């Protein structure tokens, strides 16, 4: 049996959310311990796309975004059967004007190393089994070596716990956290290839995926990876018609077959298997905080329903949780941590309401196919759509597009 451990804050999971939370806590001088059931570097199924929003969170962690391991991306290239359009990232004062791509195997290692350098303690291959609850407050976790399910659990006692254990999050369940079934959930598959086709500085996305003459519900992406690889993927939402009949793997195969033969996206150019995973969206867990514990990133279902982006939201919620816990520790006011769900709702609530409406609309193939046909060739409409979908804005003081975006969110808040 391992020895019991004491720490001020225990972070369960060392993905982007957990690393960001640990980094910001450590920078505040808080004693913080991260446990992860894997050892870094570890694989994580993802598109590896870092939008300007994610880049902003990386810069706050002091990461060098000029590292040659990143592929730099200047915007979105959107394809449909009828048109292709290039949409550069908007020039805004609140967000950088570039995105990046780096395989999560390397990216997550860089993040956790940053947290460790700032002073966080990392315990790898340790699984947090369940929260320790005393007098109605979470006071740490029972943990054990990840490879030894029969090992007697030991205690990690903490004043606060951050659940950052990802999309399949089970850790917070015994403390009463449940999935909100009415919120959208995505499922997506991806695979790496070394191909002759290198898309250059764009996130490429396909809005209509065809299996022969059958239009499938879903979307596809092709992201450039530094060193000549690509990350190819396809996904769909549970709001889509026939969601249950179309697996992410089938969608992926249809997408792969659709692409031009001279791009070499074939079995012999593949690096590894097709792997899939869930995308829990729009804060699909409730409550987001119980006394002594908060949920961040995918554990709280924080993926953006517009574009499937989760890394930025995991890092931002990690920072918000870290700031609140730090304040609660300094002021000795544990109740402050309970304001975390309100902070999230203020930041994302209205936006996610619009996102949920969007997820319902794009689930209807007839509407989707008309929208792609008529709206895609219109660059101004698409530039605005991209701003909304990537949640990149200067707010109400920005330009005309920002003002319209702000108005939409105000209307959503009046629902």
Ligand X SMILES: Cc1cc2nc3c(=O)[nH]c(=O)nc-3n(C[C@H](O)[C@H](O)[C@H](O)COP(=O)(O)OP(=O)(O)OC[C@H]3O[C@@H](n4cnc5c(N)ncnc54)[C@H](O)[C@@H]3O)c2cc1C
Site residues for ligand X per CB under 6 A: 12-18, 35-38, 44-49, 54, 127-128, 164-167, 171, 188, 190, 233, 277, 279, 297-299, 303, 308-312, 314
**The total number of residues written for the chain in this structure:** 415
Residue 414, C-beta contacts closer than 8 angstroms, at least 6 positions apart: none
Distance, CA of 265 to CA of 19 (rounded, Å): 34
Least separation in angstroms between residue 262's CB and ligand X is: 25
Least separation in angstroms between residue 373's CB and ligand X is: 26
Q: Which is nearer to ligand X, 164 or 328 (CB)?
A: 164
Sign (positive/negative) of CA torsion 11, 17, 23, 29? negative
Which value, in Å, is the radius of gyration of the alpha carbons in the chain? 21
Token pair in block for residue 386: 């991209």
Q: Which is nearer to ligand X, 76 or 354 (CB)?
A: 76
- Report whether 188 contacts 235 (CB < 8 A): yes
Q: Which is nearer to ligand X, 27 or 191 (CB)?
A: 191
Edge-first strand listing for the sheet containing 99-101: 49-50, 99-101, 71-73
| Start-to-end C-alpha separation, the chain | 53
Q: Which is nearer to ligand X, 108 or 398 (CB)?
A: 108
Instruction: Name the residue with tokens 């879903």.
Output: 218
Residue number of the CB closest to ligand X reads: 310
Coil/strand/helix, residue 215? strand
Least separation in angstroms between residue 213's CB and ligand X is: 27
Least separation in angstroms between residue 37's CB and ligand X is: 4
Distance, CA of 289 to CA of 286 (rounded, Å): 8
Least separation in angstroms between residue 308's CB and ligand X is: 6
Token pair in block for residue 117: 């350098």
Token pair in block for residue 33: 């311990």
Query: What string of DSSP letters covers 40-51?
Result: SS----S--EE-
Least separation in angstroms between residue 380's CB and ligand X is: 26
Least separation in angstroms between residue 399's CB and ligand X is: 25
Q: Which is nearer to ligand X, 145 or 377 (CB)?
A: 145
Q: Which is nearer to ligand X, 184 or 297 (CB)?
A: 297
Q: Which is nearer to ligand X, 16 or 96 (CB)?
A: 16
**Residue 406 CB neighbour total at 10 angstroms:** 17
């Amino acid at each position: 049996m391992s020895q019991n451990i004491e720490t001020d804050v225990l972070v369960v999971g060392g993905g982007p959310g957990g690393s960001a939370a640990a980094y910001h806590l450590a920078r505040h001088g808080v004693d913080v311990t991260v446990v992860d059931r894997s050892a870094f570097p570890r694989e994580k199924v993802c598109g590896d796309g870092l939008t300007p929003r994610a880049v902003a969170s990386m810069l706050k962690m002091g990461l060098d975004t000029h590292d040659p391991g990143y592929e730099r991306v200047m915007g979105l290239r959107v394809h449909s059967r009828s048109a292709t359009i290039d949409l550069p990232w908007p020039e805004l004062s609140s967000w950088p004007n570039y995105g990046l791509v780096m395989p999560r195997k390397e990216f997550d290692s860089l993040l956790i190393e940053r947290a460790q350098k700032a002073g966080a303690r990392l315990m790898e291959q340790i699984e947090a089994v369940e929260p320790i609850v005393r007098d109605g407050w979470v006071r740490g976790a029972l943990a054990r070596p990840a490879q030894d399910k029969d090992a007697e659990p030991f205690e990690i006692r903490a004043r606060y716990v951050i659940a950052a254990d990802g999309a399949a999050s089970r850790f917070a369940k015994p403390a009463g956290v449940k999935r909100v079934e009415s919120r959208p959930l995505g499922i997506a598959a991806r695979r790496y290839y070394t191909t002759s086709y290198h898309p250059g500085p764009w996130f490429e996305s396909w809005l209509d995926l065809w299996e022969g003459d059958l239009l499938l519900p879903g979307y596809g992406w092709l992201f450039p990876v530094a060193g000549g690889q690509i990350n190819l993927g396809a996904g769909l939402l549970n709001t889509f018609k026939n969601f249950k009949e179309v697996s992410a793997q089938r969608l992926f195969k249809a997408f792969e077959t659709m692409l031009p033969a001279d791009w070499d996206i074939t079995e012999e150019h593949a690096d590894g298997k097709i792997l899939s995973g869930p995308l829990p969206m729009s804060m699909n867990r409730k409550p987001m905080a119980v006394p002594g514990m908060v949920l961040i990133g995918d554990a709280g279902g924080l993926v953006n329903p517009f574009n499937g982006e989760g890394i930025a939201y995991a890092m931002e919620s990690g920072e918000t949780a870290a700031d609140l816990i730090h304040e609660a520790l300094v002021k000795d006011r544990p109740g402050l941590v309970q304001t975390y769900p309100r902070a999230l709702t203020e930041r994302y609530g209205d936006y996610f309401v619009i996102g949920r409406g969007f997820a319902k609309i794009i689930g209807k193939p007839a509407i989707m196919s008309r929208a792609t046909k008529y709206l895609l060739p219109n660059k101004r409409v698409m530039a605005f759509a991209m701003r909304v979908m990537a949640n990149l804005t200067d707010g109400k003081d920005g330009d005309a597009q920002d003002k319209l975006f702000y108005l939409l969110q105000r209307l959503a808040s009046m629902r």
